[in-house]
Amino acid sequence: MADLPSVLMPGYAGRSFAEGTGRLTGGILYDYMVGLHFQRQGWPVEHFDLETLPRFAKALRFPAHGRIARACGTDYDVLITDLGNSSLNLGLQRSAAGRGKLTVLLCHHFRAGLERTLLKRMLYRFTERRIVSEAALLVANSPHTASVLISMGRNRDDIVLAPPGLSVPRADSPRFRELPLEVLMVGSIEPRKGVLDAVRALAASGLDDVRLTIAGESGTPADYLREVRGLIEGSDLGARVRLTGRLDSEALSAAYREADAFMLLSRWEGYGMAIAEAMASGLPVISTTAGAIPGLVEHGVSGLLAEPGDWKAAGAFLRSLLTDSDLRLRLSQGALEKSRGFPTWEESTGRIFDAVAGRLRQ
């Protein structure tokens, strides 16, 4: 039997293979599940942990393809990189393609517009366009992401649409209680997730007994968490807003079960994994029209969508949702029904595997 193709994946998911998915979320979980599927098909997968790079490279996203290439060598057939790490892998993709390797790019979201400093925005804008233009195969996590790739000049035939799978069990029935008190947000504490907007929306709702649980680790910049805590205390919400940190899969599933509604006021989402999980848990959603979210949540059918940054509208939506039982039940039913069309991880990663295997056969 001929040797199966081998895969190199530079990223942040590799160290978790010894521990299981555990506390992984977002794009890192996606990358982990992709690598796991290839391994289960018998393909050798080598992970290069980007955390081992020098501090200056990680801080400035300085091109580090030479170090990665020296550490990993050239004994692989497929290079799978993550668009979020494009600047760290600058040149590695081109070097791999020049040696006849198949280059695959996992596209979750585009970071150029999310970085706060001009230097990083310029760096990501350059590297994202270059790595998107030269990858042999592109994996889009949503139709919205696919449309962005097409707008950048890529052919539809080079794009595999593979939304994330669900990491929570789908509920048997919509989540509905006559006296709703618990609102859940799942996402890292960073500006992109609109955490300050969520706290302001709770205050603006005028619902004095409602509690908000924010489940997610502190992201960047480091002072954003202090700003969130300051707003909570300054709004006299210390007894009603709980910061849990990142939850493991069991605790996260329990949080979805205990909630009456889900709120995530993101400024941008390439897909919205937490939103999809909330819908599969039978929860009505309050979110925004940013990025790919309208592809998940239909306003007035499975949730309520405000413009990004409009926390006053989100607060009004929250009040309507929790005081109108008919609306809450209807949106809960709509959310759960929409989630029945969401793929499993096996289906999504299987699409990627089939596309890669097909390209190698060509």
Cα–Cα dist 16/31, whole Å: 11
122-126 contacts at long range (C-beta below 8 A, 24 or more positions apart):
123/60, 123/61, 123/87, 124/61, 124/86, 124/87
Q: What is the pTM of this model?
A: 0.91
Catalogue all structural domains in the chain, each as residue range(s) with its CATH number. Answer: 7-164+343-361 (3.40.50.2000), 182-339 (3.40.50.2000)
Reply yes or no on whether the pLDDT at 18 is more than 80: no
The one-character DSSP state at 111 is -
pLDDT tens digit string along 135-193? Answer: 999 999 999 999 999 999 999 999 999 999 998 889 999 989 999 999 999 999 999 99
* Strand ordering across the sheet containing 303-306: 241-243, 211-215, 182-186, 261-263, 285-288, 303-306
Cα–Cα dist 211/45, whole Å: 44
Integer Rg of the chain from CA? 21
Nearest-10 crossing angle of helices 311-323, 325-339: 100
pLDDT tens digit string along 253-279? Answer: 999 999 999 999 999 999 999 999 999
Reply yes or no on whether the pLDDT at 249 is more than 50: yes
Reply yes or no on whether the pLDDT at 55 is more than 60: yes
